[in-house]
Structure formats: C-alpha cells, structure tokens
Chains A and B, each alone.
Chain A
Amino acid sequence: MGMLRAGLCPGLTEETVQLLRGRKIKTVADLAAADLEEVAQKCGLSYKALVALRRVLLAQFSAFPLNGADLYEELKTSTAILSTGIGSLDKLLDAGLYTGEVTEIVGGPGSGKTQVCLCVAANVAHSLQQNVLYVDSNGGMTASRLLQLLQARTQDEEKQASALQRIQVVRSFDIFQMLDMLQDLRGTIAQQVTNHLTRDWDGRRFKPALGRSWSFVPSTRILLDVTEGAGTLGSSQRTVYLTKSPRQPTGLQEMIDIGTLGTEEQSPELPGKQT
C-alpha cells in the first residue's frame, strides 16, 4: 500500500512520479515526511502543487478523525443487543450479544459450545427475525438439531421454514476459506466465536487456545464447564463462567442445561433491545 504511481490521485502524473523517485520519494509515507520546500527546489516542481498533492494523498490514505458526538448518534441507531434465548446466559452477558463486539465461548470437548451456538442461531432467526451467518469449521452443525430447536419454539411450519431460511451456513475447513468468507462480510453484526481449551505451558491450568495474540480480540469471554458433582456421565448440566467482560465484574456464573436449551421458559422481558 502506498507506492506512488501515476493516477493514484488527481494531479499525480507519471512525470511527477519519476521526478520524486529521483529524490528517493517512492511511497506516500515518504512524501508525507519530506521537506517539501527542498523537494520543490531540487525537482523543479511547484511548491504549491506538492503541498496540494500531499494533502490529497493524506486525505485519501489516512484515517479521518470522527467526532465523538456524531459517532454516538450513529451508534445509538445501529447498535443492538441480541438475546441468546437462554435466560441465564443473557444475565451473564448483560442482556445478550452486543453488535460490534466479539464474544468468545471457551470450553473443553463435549462442554456444549456447539449446542449454545445452535440455540443462539435459532433464537436470533426466529424470535428476533434477524439473519444469521453460521460458519462451521468442525462439522458440528446439523440442520436437524436446528430444526428441533425451532420446533420447540413454534409449531407453525411456515415460521420454522422462514427462520431456517434466515440462517446461512458456510462450511470452511481451512483458514484460507475462512479469510475469504470474512472479507466479503458487510454490515453491523454481533460475532460469536467458539474456542477450545488447552493447558498452560507448565501443565497447571487450563486456558483458552489460540494463544496470547488472539486473547486480546474478544471483548467478552465465557467458559463452559461440566458441572461438578453433576452425577451420571452424560449429564447435560453445565456451568457457565464469565471470565472477561467490559461491562460486568468477572467471576459471575450460571447454570444451564444443554439438553433442554431453548425449551425452557422464555424470559419475561423483550428478547431484543435497541439502544
């Protein structure tokens, strides 16, 4: 990004590009840092033209500072909080998934991450009537389970069908497919990702996989764990811990049952909330 070439912006001719290259100015950054008076003298270009060129290029390639008040107005109309459909999970997430943020669900194998994702997808598609993009990278997504969750919410087959239509499933089994798909995404969305657990380097504690650099990305992280003392193997009781949140104190926990997700009583307040 940023190599100077003819036509990059109005007023940048091939001749100018060559003259600048003679002064070792090859990129936009070089031009921005250069002493324009000196360049104008040595190159025989007009100082005013160079200043104008610099201004246009900077306007094109730098980030324009937005005013906080304008941004707030815009966010008020475009931000939404999407309920997950699971009352206790909503409590942990402070009403649900916030658009413009990444929420991470961490858990060991069989802890219920995919079940939670399917339940959220069903809720958003049916109760909130919003579109869902479900990216499956490990083959855990089954349409029949999704249908089951929808059938628990409504008997009306037409409503079930229209909810299913709002859910778009993309299967990407390598990182390049994933990147391709993400680059084409547009619009305001709330992102929910799942992650596995791995052990710390000294073998003592469990921690989310994918390392430190990833750990900075999600704003909210919840941990799913099999409830202690739940009794028989194959029990569907899970404990959800809030381990990172920008709004709530961490350490909150709730219990959910992944076998009956979505069939529990609906929470009394409205499922979606506009801020």
Chain B
Amino acid sequence: MCSDFRRAESGTELLARLEGRSSLKELEPNLFADEDSPVHGDIFEFHGPEGTGKTEMLYHLTARCILPKSEGGLQIEVLFIDTDYHFDMLRLVTVLEHRLSQSSEEAMKLCLARLFLAYCSSSMQLLLTLHSLEALLCSRPSLCLLIVDSLSSFYWIDRVSGGESVALQESTLQKCSQLLERLVTEYRLLLFATTQSLMQKGSDSADGPSSSKHPCDGDMDYRAYLCKAWQRVVKHRVIFSRDDEATSSRFSLVSRHLKNKGSQGLWKTSLHFCSKKCSPF
C-alpha cells in the first residue's frame, strides 16, 4: 500500500521527505560524544534500573525535537510509543514551558501537534502498531524520531505465554526488533528505546533465556536478557544510574558504541535534570 504511495511521489514531495529527515546531529550535544552523535538509521538503547532518568531523558529529547527552530528546537515530529502507560504529558509540558521564550497556549499547541503518542498493552499489539506505522511514516516526512518506552515491559508476560520454548517466548519481540530495524533503515529514522534492568547482576539463579556474557559488557551493570535479534540491532547503549545518596539528584550515564570494534567508544557523563535542559556537571 505504501509502495504505491511512494511511486506516485512528485519531485517536491521527494525533496520534502529527504530534507525533513535532515540533521539530528545537534540533538543533545551534552549527551552524546562527537563521534557518537546520532545520525539517521541509529538505534539507541537506554538501559537502567528504575528511577534513573531514562524516561525523563526522553522528555528532554522530545522537547528538543518538537520545539520550533526559533526557540532552539529542531522542528521535527516525534512518535512516542508507550508500553507501560507511564507517559506524563504534564511533565513534558513543564519541560516545554521552561524552554519556550513565551509560553502561550498557541505555541504549546503547535509544539505538541508535532508529537504522536501510541499506547500498547501487549507485545502483539506493539508488533501490529509497528506494521501500521508505514502509512504514517509515508505521509509525514518530518517524522524522524521514534521512541519506544519501554521495550522490556512485556518480558515476563511473553515468557509466561511462550511456555517452555525459548524461541516461542521471544518470537514477538524478535519480530518487533527486525521490523524496527527495517523501518529505521528504510525511512531514515532515529530510534530510542528504553529497557529496564530487570535482572540482578551477581548471584542470581533466574537466568534470562538469552543471557550471554559479552566480554565487553563485563565491566558494566548490564545483563542481556532480551532476545538476540534486539542485541544485534542496537548500535549504541546508554546505561543510566544514579548516586545512591538519597539527597543527590545527580544521574550518571555511560554510553557505549557497540558496532565500533576498533575504539572502545565509551563516553561517561553526569547530568542534573532541571526543567530547562540537561546540564552536565
């Protein structure tokens, strides 16, 4: 259906499509090292325990994208797929209000009109939603950013419904990962997906079905438990953590470029979340 659409595209539409999906380099300079700055076709995974600021970071990235160019944004559209019904519109509005020079209702509505939100309550629904995205992506050339929060919400439910067979347990998420990769490559999107640290590191008898000890992950708080198809597709992984002290509001990020065999590609930074923007220490 979409291929018919694309064949009938005119020259101006083609330009609009390519131009719309333009530079995302300036997405969040504080967050990404120069060589790691996001480009089209990149897939980022935000990983971390609860309360470490993954969703908060997504709000800041979303705000940066949907703000108009005059206010320091990128003026591109964002699709946010929420699988654990955590999306806090009021928080996003607060972040936007602090960044807008004059926070009028009109300006807010214009920004929010660039955001699309889909709620999924099962991995099957997530898969079907991704299939139905092609129509949306064709008709909205300025939609460059895809966010999935979070990809691991259905992990336990899938494990239960898959019975004893690991392949069956992982099949839906595997199809989702492959479909995400195809969409991101074909439509030149950028994908940010969060995953929760569901597995304890250290002595834990419950092994995830596909947990494998990558030699390069040995030094970090990361235990792979999602399917191998997803592990293959992720290009960058950012591990979130926070200081244990109750009074501290400092969050730490460690970002690793996974496809770069040559260099280590490790980037560490500390962040302080306030409503204006992420400011590094």
Write the residues of chain A forming the contact surface with B, with a CB cutoff of 8 angstroms: 1-2, 28-29, 32-33, 51, 54-55, 58-59, 61-69, 71-72, 75, 79, 98, 101, 201, 212-213, 215-217, 219, 241, 243-244, 246-247, 249-251, 275
Which residues from chain B contact A55 at a C-beta distance below 8 Å? 1
List 15 additional contacts besides A58-B132, A249-B249; criterion CB under 8 Å. Answer: A2-B128, A29-B127, A63-B126, A65-B116, A65-B136, A67-B117, A68-B115, A69-B113, A72-B93, A79-B90, A201-B200, A216-B50, A243-B246, A244-B51, A247-B91
Residue contact B91 to A216, C-beta cutoff 8 Å: no
Partner of B128, one of A29, A65, A69, A72: A29
Residue contact A62 to B196, C-beta cutoff 8 Å: no
Residue contact A66 to B118, C-beta cutoff 8 Å: yes
Which residues from chain B contact A219 at a C-beta distance below 8 Å? 86, 88
Cα distance, A169 to B172, chains bound together (Å)? 39
- Asked whether any CB of chain A lies closer than 8 Å to the CB of B57, the reply is no
Cα distance, A66 to B248, chains bound together (Å)? 36
Residue contact B128 to A58, C-beta cutoff 8 Å: yes
Residues of chain B at interface, number, CB under 8 A: 56
Partner of A63, one of B66, B89, B120: B120
Cα distance, A246 to B131, chains bound together (Å)? 32
Write the residues of chain B forming the contact surface with A, with a CB cutoff of 8 angstroms: 1, 49-51, 56, 66, 79, 81, 84, 86, 88-91, 93-94, 108-122, 124-129, 131-132, 136, 150, 156, 172, 175, 179, 196-200, 203, 245-249
Chain A to chain B contacts (Cβ below 8 Å), 17 pairs: A1-B125, A2-B124, A32-B132, A58-B132, A61-B128, A63-B118, A64-B118, A65-B79, A68-B115, A68-B116, A72-B108, A72-B112, A213-B198, A216-B196, A217-B84, A219-B88, A275-B90
Residue contact B120 to A212, C-beta cutoff 8 Å: no
